[in-house]
């Protein structure tokens, strides 16, 4: 057996020596940086059951890593890569439009935390499965992510006793609480809390609130609004989620079209749509689909359209987040030299921001995270933060605020502005409402990707959350 084969076997051959991170995973010369970082970083695979290999990229804290917390970060989709979080949101360096250059991020979340970016589930990004079967569901993903965390601590035993926080965005609104249910039962992990940004917490509340959000942001107009009131509402209560009235369904399809397909940026109402007004565009032999399948999932016509689109095309199908330019991170991560430095095997396919196969075959087992949050809160020892950029339409702030309110926890601090100092004195960064062990917080003027839109406010919020300081 050659030395290369031995290296591949190392993670499987029992414990790494105490206090020793896996040397073979260390990133020594990251392309695109004018100067290499002073902190250490690692990229490799966390092997879990069923022959699955989840790719991780771990950046140590810039300030005393040995005592800094370990923070897991997951992006959503389902089927989208957490390297989006690293390279475009809150990583130590951000990809530039040329797709080759990385610039240091002054608002990086690893300033005072060790951050583990995990590409999950298998099939997403550089993660893969030996059998290439990418059909999965919420329960299996939670189990795989839990096993990946265990494997991480086995490879990095020096971090076992550090505080652990589970964080993520979007569909991680499902990933994070379901993972926390497993982690909270494992005394070997020092779980302290979780933070979910613009998370999908409850399909019904997300759909219902979105229609109000769209109307009061001037997107629907009075004719459509009064039709919705007439056909979707009775006795002062509206059901925009699974209403059986055929006229209501037609009106909701119109809402869905305006929000998702008219050229508005669903992730940030006030930001331009990258590439201009989109459609379900055909690009040479590729069908580009831009629907993650999280909104108005009960609309029958929508489900039918999706299936027909798949049957109609013999082309390669690509899932791309709408109004988002994924060219720069794709160019960078598919550079052969970058892949080599990140220790990605040559057999692993090209990196895409989102994986259509994973997304379209994904089985959603939960309609709400109510039970998971109540169980976590009943332990009375975890700090939970639900935060939302307030101009996102994919997972809007109102739905998540309704969700947190519906948990019926004891209010400790009434809703108030929270402030951030930006060089022009103190500014209102958003609003926060605090309950016994959970807070709901908005970030004013941010969309779905909060740290991209408001990096200073996001870092301030994150730091206060980790340090258990008042927001």
Active site (catalytic) residues: 170, 392, 448
Here the tokens at position 205 are 């509340």
State how far the Cα of 253 lies from the Cα of 243, in Å rounded to an integer.
12
Asked whether 48 and 136 are in contact (CB, 8 A), the reply is no
State how far the Cα of 63 lies from the Cα of 344, in Å rounded to an integer.
28
State how far the Cα of 17 lies from the Cα of 150, in Å rounded to an integer.
16
State how far the Cα of 352 lies from the Cα of 347, in Å rounded to an integer.
15
CA 154 to chain CA mean position, Å: 25
State how far the Cα of 26 lies from the Cα of 35, in Å rounded to an integer.
17
Q: Is the peptide bond preceding residue 386 cis, with omega within 30 degrees of 0?
A: no
Of the candidates 323, 321, 319, 298, the one whose C-alpha atom is nearest the C-alpha of residue 309 is: 319
Sign, Cα dihedral of 191, 192, 194, 195:
negative
Of the candidates 86, 75, 58, 74, the one whose C-alpha atom is nearest the C-alpha of residue 158 is: 58
Residue 374, SS3? helix
Q: What are the DSSP E strand ranges found in 50-149?
A: 52-59, 70-74, 93-95, 102-104, 114-118, 128-129
State how far the Cα of 359 lies from the Cα of 78, in Å rounded to an integer.
5
Here the tokens at position 456 are 């200073």
Here the tokens at position 133 are 């079967």
State how far the Cα of 372 lies from the Cα of 379, in Å rounded to an integer.
11
State how far the Cα of 36 lies from the Cα of 370, in Å rounded to an integer.
44
User: What's the N-to-C CA distance of the chain in angstroms?
Assistant: 56
Say what angle helices 300-312 and 246-261 make with each other, to 10 degrees: 60
Here the tokens at position 119 are 């590409």
Asked whether 55 and 23 are in contact (CB, 8 A), the reply is no
Q: Write the DSSP symbol of residue 157.
A: G
């Amino acid at each position: 057996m050659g030395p290369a084969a031995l290296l591949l076997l190392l993670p499987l051959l029992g414990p790494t020596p105490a206090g020793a991170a896996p040397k073979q995973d260390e990133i020594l010369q990251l392309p695109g940086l004018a100067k290499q970082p002073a902190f250490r970083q690692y990229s490799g695979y966390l092997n879990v059951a069923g022959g699955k290999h989840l790719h991780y990229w771990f950046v140590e804290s810039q300030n005393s890593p040995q005592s800094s917390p370990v923070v897991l970060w997951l992006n959503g989709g389902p089927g989208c890569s957490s390297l989006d979080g690293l390279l475009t949101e809150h990583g130590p360096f951000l990809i530039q439009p040329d797709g080759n250059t990385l610039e240091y991020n002054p608002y990086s979340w690893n300033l005072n935390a060790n951050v583990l970016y995990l590409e999950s589930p298998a099939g997403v990004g550089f993660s893969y499965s030996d059998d290439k079967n990418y059909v999965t569901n919420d329960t299996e993903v939670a189990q795989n992510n839990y096993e990946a965390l265990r494997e991480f601590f086995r490879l990095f035993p020096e971090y076992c006793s550090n505080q652990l926080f589970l964080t993520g965005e979007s569909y991680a609104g499902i990933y994070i609480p379901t993972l926390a249910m497993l982690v909270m039962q494992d005394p070997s992990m020092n779980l302290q809390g979780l933070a979910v940004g613009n998370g999908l917490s409850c399909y019904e509340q997300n759909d219902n609130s979105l229609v109000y959000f769209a109307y009061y942001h001037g997107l629907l107009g009075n004719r459509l609004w009064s039709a919705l009131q007439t056909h979707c509402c009775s006795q002062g209560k509206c059901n925009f989620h699974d209403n059986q009235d055929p006229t209501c369904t037609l009106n909701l399809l119109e809402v869905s079209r305006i929000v998702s397909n008219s050229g508005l940026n669903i992730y940030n109402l006030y930001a331009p749509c990258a590439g201009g007004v989109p459609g379900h565009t055909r690009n040479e032999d590729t069908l580009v689909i831009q629907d993650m399948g999280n909104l108005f999932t009960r609309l029958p016509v929508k489900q039918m359209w999706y299936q027909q689109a798949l049957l109609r095309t013999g082309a390669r199908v690509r899932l791309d987040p709408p109004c988002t330019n994924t060219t720069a991170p794709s160019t960078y991560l598919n550079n052969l030299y970058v892949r080599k430095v990140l220790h990605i095997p040559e057999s692993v396919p090209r990196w895409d921001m989102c994986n259509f196969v994973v997304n379209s075959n994904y089985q959603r087992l939960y309609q709400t995270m109510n039970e998971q949050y109540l169980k976590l809160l009943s332990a009375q020892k975890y700090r939970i933060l639900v935060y939302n950029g307030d101009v996102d339409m994919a997972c809007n702030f109102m739905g998540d605020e309704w969700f947190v309110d519906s948990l019926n926890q004891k209010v400790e601090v009434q809703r108030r502005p929270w402030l951030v100092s930006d060089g022009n004195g103190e500014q209102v960064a958003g609003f926060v409402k605090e309950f016994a062990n959970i807070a709901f917080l908005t970030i004013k003027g941010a969309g779905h990707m909060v740290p991209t839109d408001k990096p200073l406010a996001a870092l301030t919020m994150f730091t206060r959350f980790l340090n258990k300081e008042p927001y």
